[in-house]
Amino acid sequence: MIPVVGFEGARVAVLGLGRSGLATAWALRAGGAMPVCWDDNPAARDAAEAEGFDCSDLLKQGAFDTIKTLIVSPGIPHLYPTPNPVVLAALNAGVPVDNDIGLFFRSFATRQWDNFETLPKVIAVTGSNGKSTTSALIHHVLDQAGRRTQLAGNIGRGVLDIEPAEDGDVVVLELSSYQTELARHLTPDIAVFTNLSPDHLDRHAGVGGYFAAKRRLFAEGGPDRAVIGVDEPEGLFLAGQLSEGPADDRVIKVSVAQKLSGPGWQVFAKKGFLSEYRKGRQAGSIDLRAIPGLPGAHNHQNACAAYAACRALGLAPRVIEAGFASFEGLPHRSQIIAVSNGVTFVNDSKATNVDAACKALAAFKNIRWICGGLEKDGGLGDLPAAAGNVCKAYVIGREAAGFAMQLTGVDAEVCGTMEIAVRRAIEDAQDGDVVLLAPAAASFDQYDSFEKRGDDFIAQVQAGLGSV
């Protein structure tokens, strides 16, 4: 646990008592603060009270009269689409609003670091797609290289739930836009921006607000090194804002769409080969094609970003390559779950938006595509055009018929449920085909999470293959 500093003897309100909210309450108490907790869910309040925390309605008159700061859990919208009433009450009372990420960055460094030979580092990864895989890959490479490392944030443990730093530690944080938009302190040593595609538009009042939330990690924090994916205009713009000129190697540009050149520091992948150039000369290369845990161009982008971050820490290219080779990938992200009679079954349930699904479709050939769910703002956009490798689509979700109608030029069958979609895909599949779950939609019309959706896909595949 990271005890929160700066609130000794103060009352600090905590809104939202899920995983990060409870961890925040414990960390505040460990630092000498007095947490005042609230959640609209009575069961969550009961659980917090059972652990000895005071729960008090933060909307009652005078609730913020003695509160020093309000800490908001990331799942709670604080401004858009409408201001959260508790957040609004805090702002009207002049009470600062923060989140657990802000508390982490103000509390992680301690006086003990004065005795360390090697100062701990924080690598923070954000972006629309690939940030989980990139974060996990960095963590894996460091672990395989013998560096003590912890993985936290939007993946793994809550940021305040990790262990205090030891000499030479590296903490890898995956940060969503929900986490970066509100944190009052953002000071990573290395910050990574994978890519940007429209997502969470209602929460951020449009793509501009969404990009602004991601950009805060770099603009507010001033990292020593920034790894920036430049295949979208926003990434190119961000790299330009952070750089003092073409030779400024504090910015490492990353691409899977083009060969990068110039006097600066670049990492790019073309046709499955990763190349690193610095000061106009090649400094490293890796053949990514034979690495099973990193299939497809989208994972090659993740590999480039992870490689750049590890190189910024001083790891040698061959050490990074060895870590890549043993990386098994993450569940629900291009996860190969079975191969039967020449047919490969791939679970990419994390492909919850159009851009992620397009990248998954580009990674395989002869695809039997299971898609559909709760459609996000902006529609399907270029998704039909990206479906050139699709033999047939099997559409699930409550609005499966409407989703299927938008897949112009794609042979689409309305299935409704995962059970039917998997069964029909198995019946149709031939040697060399890939049955791919890449929904291009949220899961919440039928499942509690994308993980639950992926688990159902795995279960249905296992049941279907068992009956063949």
Q: Is 128 annotated as a binding residue?
A: yes
362-371 burial string, b = 16+ CB within 10 Å, else e? ebbebbbbbb
Distance between CA atoms of residues 363 and 389, nearest Å: 9
- Give helix 317-325 / helix 296-312 axis angle, nearest 10°: 140
Q: Is 272 annotated as a binding residue?
A: no
Structure tokens at 201: 């538009």
For residue 191, the cross-strand partners are: 124, 226
Give the strands of the sheet with 67-72, arranged side by side: 54-55, 34-38, 11-15, 67-72, 97-98
Distance between CA atoms of residues 84 and 79, nearest Å: 6
Q: Is 127 annotated as a binding residue?
A: yes
For residue 40, the SS3 value is coil
Q: Which of 367, 378, 363 has the alpha carbon at shortest distance from 441?
A: 378
Q: Is 131 annotated as a binding residue?
A: yes
- Give helix 207-219 / helix 233-242 axis angle, nearest 10°: 30
Q: What angle do CA 198, 365, 290 make, to 5 degrees?
A: 95
Give the strand pairing for 390-396 and 412-416.
parallel
Q: What angle do CA 185, 191, 197 make, to 5 degrees?
A: 100
Q: Which of 436, 192, 421, 411 has the alpha carbon at shortest distance from 296?
A: 436
Distance between CA atoms of residues 341 and 269, nearest Å: 32
Distance between CA atoms of residues 215 and 89, nearest Å: 27
Binding site membership: which residues?
127-133
Residues annotated within a binding site for ATP: 127-133
